[in-house]
Amino acid sequence: MKAPSTVPKPEFPADADTKEYAASLDAVDPLRGFRDEFIIPSKANIASKKLAKPGLSEEPCIYFCGNSLGIQPKATAKYLEAQLDTWSSIGVGGHFTDLEGSPLRQWQLLSEQAAESMSKIVGAAPEEVAAMGTLSMNLHLLLASFYKPTSDKHRILMDWKAFPSDHYAIESQIAWHGLDPDQSMLLVGPDEGEYEVTTEKILSYIDNHASEIALVLLPGIQYYTGQLFDIKRITEYAQSLGIIVGWDLAHAYGNVELKLHEWNVDFAVWCTYKYGNSGPGGIAGLYVHERHGQVDYSAGRDSPKFRHRLTGWYGGDRAERFKMDNKFKPIPGAGGFQISNPSAIDLTSLCAALSVFDKTSMSEIRKKSVLITAYLEHLLLKDSTDETRQFQIITPSNPEARGAQLCLLLKPGLLQQVAQRLQEIGVVCDKREPGVVRVAPAPLYNSFTEVWTFVENLKQALKE
């Protein structure tokens, strides 16, 4: 039996399908000012094949693709300019010098600046978060530390439709240990004809295979269906059976409220370029619970005891890093899992995006997300039935089981005509073969009027 929702689903009046009503929601939106923090691509530019400056005076497109790549914050140019000026003016001194008037700390501390802001987004202590690498690279690094298979406990419980990079990472890690992925990958999926993987089914899989499972690794939000998993409950149950639990938060970071420390999650990884708006391929993040990042010097300063991980110079204690004595003394916490000197340019772009998040909270972002996603759902379903509708919403209707994304499974043969129509009118959203359109109204820069306009055009496209 599903637990009752503690997040009430918004209700809308009879005139909610009017543009005037959408505008009234925008007028009272407490986050409406954040739209001005971003550069929204113009309709003219997204249709052009030539490199162009942002069309700030031109009609903006409707950008519902933040679940693939967030748009550029206006702060990005300012932050990158400061970074380039630092590099050009003081060269190597940028590693150790805090410059007055710069929004950035010295390069050696820049990853800590990013981690401090990211920790508020994921619900962790700053010391439990590190800004480094890419999501897949970070996943490999943490699997190297947390996946310790034995002859009895060797299986990894994962999503039946995991994002390919996660699937490949898990498959290769299993093979690295000389095991057979077909035997060690345990896939949990929805019941026949369904798209939601219930928490109860996941818990039953954990229960039935507890003696074989070495690790649970699931997505916070399933990329294809948009389902938000019950991270707290699944983590607690698996850990009660002695199982390590990790999460891929690629689609959850900057999207939904997370409380990784409070939920006792062992580890997590995420990218920052989707709802986090750090730029294409932007530097990623990872979380390691404080208990796994402890460093014990009881046996002497030169004999630290710590959780095994793949080590690198940049994970070493900053106070002793430049002694170059090849005696690894890890930074306590997630910082000790760092490998290499991170790209200051990438960190700058991330810090620029985080400066926007620093002006609000995930609680406020989530409030609007619940409302704007419910409004999108209401308009999509209004005045139609399951029999007459040309699509099925495969994302859960429960606000607690989704983020800022609805996935529409179109009837066969409709995807290309709908995608073409949306492109022609300046709507950017993601499509997944053979028939899914993923629509993601991001609370920081999308409006209720855009939702109304999108639905009007989608319904027209479905009639053509």
Known binding residues are 135-136, 163-166, 248, 251, 273, 313, 341
Quick one: tokens of 40? 């929204």
d(CA 341, CA 133) in angstroms, rounded, equals: 10
Q: Which residue has the tokens 């991330």?
A: 350
Quick one: tokens of 65? 């693709």
Binding-site entries for pyridoxal 5'-phosphate: 135-136, 163-166, 248, 251, 273, 313, 341
The H-assigned helical ranges of 65-163 are 75-90, 107-122, 135-146
285 phi and psi angles, rounded to 5 deg: -140, 160
CA within 13 Å, CB half, 171: 10
d(CA 34, CA 114) in angstroms, rounded, equals: 20
d(CA 336, CA 54) in angstroms, rounded, equals: 40
- b/e string for 382-396 if b means 16 or more Cβ within 10 A? eeeeeeebebebbbb
d(CA 315, CA 302) in angstroms, rounded, equals: 16
Closest CA to 102 of 116, 120, 87: 87
Contact 87, 94 (CB under 8 A): yes
Q: Cis peptide before 434, with omega less than 30 degrees from 0?
A: yes
